[in-house]
Structure 1
Amino acid sequence: MEASFCDRCGQLARIGSHDVCARARALEPPRYCSSCRRRLVVQVTPLGWSARCAEHGTSVSA
């Protein structure tokens, strides 16, 4: 499934350039669900991060 929303700024992914968001995401966790645009519950630890959407579940850093 293709992402509908930018996971950093929450705006529609197909509108505008999200180059700045992509560079920032290399250093920080997502803030918005790319499927539904809900604000994520993010927890950052020394070992990585986890981000939880109430609708779509949890994702973790690699």
Structure 2
Amino acid sequence: MSPFCDHCGRRPDDGDHSACRTARLMEPPRYCPACRRRLVVQVTPRGWSARCAEHGMTAS
């Protein structure tokens, strides 16, 4: 399990994350799950990419 939620940036044990899981079905991540930094997100017709300054790029 990641130390942080990639949608809201909070710890997994900090409240209910069911809304985050639902949102992530349609949206890219907003926070790095490893360090909680805000991601630079780019959405294109073919998918999305998200970049953390510390941990690099992830994509759909």
**TM-score higher than 0.5 here?**
yes
Pairs aligned (count) = 60
- Alpha-carbon separation, structure 2, partners of 1:45 and 1:34: 22
- Asked if the contact 1:5/1:36 (under 8 Å) is kept, the reply is yes
* Structure 2, gaps ≥5 residues long: none
**Deviation >6 Å, runs of 4+:** none
CA RMSD for the aligned pairs? 0.7
- Alpha-carbon separation, structure 2, partners of 1:39 and 1:6: 11
* Structure 1, gaps ≥5 residues long: none
TM-score relative to the length of structure 1 = 0.92
- Alpha-carbon separation, structure 1, partners of 2:29 and 2:6: 5
Question: Percentage identity across aligned positions?
Answer: 63
